[in-house]
Amino acid sequence: MKISVIGTGKTGGKVIELLGSNLAHAFDASNPPTIEKLKESDAVIIFVPGDAVEELLPVVLKSGVPAAWGSTGYEWPDNLDKQVKDAHTKWILASNFSLGMNIIRNAIQVISSGADILQKPSFEIHEVHHIHKKDAPSGTALSWKEWLAKDAEVTSAREGDVNGIHELTIKTETEVIQLRHEALDRSLFAEGAVWAAEQLTKQENLSSGVYTFAELFDHTMKAK
């Protein structure tokens, strides 16, 4: 399998290292992707800032190559799923490619259900990332709030070269419950992105359209 990468920054660089001889092309601002070169790939992994997505969308769509997007801070068009289906391809949009985050997702959903028996609980989600991350709160923090399905305060901090820390805190007058996930190395996002790209091409019963990382993870687990 040959996979191309768009975005050669901190995380994209890790993907390139991981792919090794399976790398088809590496694209960045000085070497933008073309439809023809993308078609030489079985899939493409994209780690670019939100403000770079708009220009890339038509190129990636027209190539028809399955794509794993790790871009946050961009408001995707409402008809994106239709556009991807019309292109007869499959995309995954992920705010976080950590496979372990799917364990967190399940844990948060259990916590949300169980919290209904607590007396006047308050919910706080706090995230910390490196100083170069532009969007705040992170896409992952917003996903945590969505999974929690509760009124939660979301706060952010930008410090040093932090790969990513997310914490959920539930407080009542008598107890505190905390759930924490910390990314120790960006290679975990690269591993998850490569896994996702491979699944987009391997899962024959996965129809065209746009998926979340969670949907792809669940679909793959059910297929086993």
pLDDT in tens, 130-160: 999 988 999 899 999 999 999 999 999 999 9
DSSP secondary structure letter of residue 85: H
Q: Are 151 and 85 members of one domain?
A: no
Q: Which domain holds residue 61?
A: 3-97+187-223
Residue range 65-79, pLDDT digits in tens? 999 999 988 999 999
Cα–Cα distance between 75 and 135 in angstroms, integer? 12
Domain count, the chain: 2
Q: Are 133 and 210 members of one domain?
A: no
For residue 125 the two structure tokens come to 């989600």
Other CB atoms closer than 10 Å to residue 20's CB: what's the count?
7
Q: Are 162 and 52 members of one domain?
A: no
Q: Are 108 and 89 members of one domain?
A: no
Q: How far, in Å, are 132, 140, 164 from residue 160 at the CA level? A: 9, 19, 11
Q: Are 29 and 82 members of one domain?
A: yes
- Give the chain's residues under pLDDT 70: 224
Using omega within 30 degrees of 0 as the cis cutoff, is the peptide bond preceding 137 cis?
Answer: yes
Q: Which CATH number fits the domain that encloses residue 173? A: 3.30.360.10
Residue 6: the pLDDT is 98
